[in-house]
Amino acid sequence: MSEETEKGPPPPPRLRASKGAPWRIDPGRRLKWSSAEFIAKNAVDIRQIGDPVLHVASKKPRLSRAELETLASRMFASMIAARGIGIAAPQIGVPLRVAILDVDEAGLVAIDPKIEWVSEEIEETSEGCLSVRGLYGMLERPVAARLAAVDVTGKRFVAEGEEFGAQCMIHETEHLQGILYVDRLKSRADLHPVEADEEESQRETA
């Protein structure tokens, strides 16, 4: 008996391309870029809060397709090594407007992304960040959002997200503006340490 038979069909992805057919991190690239050998050669340490590169607005990239693919591969390897599901180029020290959105393995590489729309409905949710290790905070985020960007080939696409997908899109685009989620908290006292038994659930950070 398959898992789908026992538990029903899987839920729809919380993050997806809704317009266009963007270049993405497909299963072949995912397998290669998440291999131990590739990670050992390409992953870098994630920059942490206080690093100047995280606190300034990034620039629109002027890179070739090959250069963008190389950057995406380094970002993805670093994200996997840090056990995340999203990453922005400044987090590996590159001040360019490039983000990877990988909620539910969406595999989207967004160049110069912009949030086009957010829902009026909001919810309070926990949020963490690979650049604020070991801590999380509670803040309000829209429950749905839409983002426009171009892919590594220069093609425009639109992505939509719900719940954690929307949260990830907003989180990553704010990184590119030099904003960390902790800047949205009323007080740094609202930050809480991640407990040992919560470590796996906090994997869903960006």
Give catalytic residue positions.
172
User: 158 pairs with which residues across the strands?
Assistant: 19, 148
Site of tokens 């959105």:
101
Answer left, alpha or beta for residue 194, where phi above 0 means left and psi between -120 and 50 means alpha.
beta
Three-state SS letters, the chain: CCHHHHHCCCCCCCEEEEECCCCECCHHHHHHHCCHHHHHHHCCCCCCCCCHHHHCCCECCCCCHHHHHHHHHHHHHHHHHHCCCEEEHHHHCCCECEEEECHHHCCEEEEEEEEEEECCCEEEEEEECCCCCCEEEEEEEECEEEEEEECCCCCEEEEEEECHHHHHHHHHHHHCCCCCHHHHCCCHHHEEECCHHHCCHHHCCC
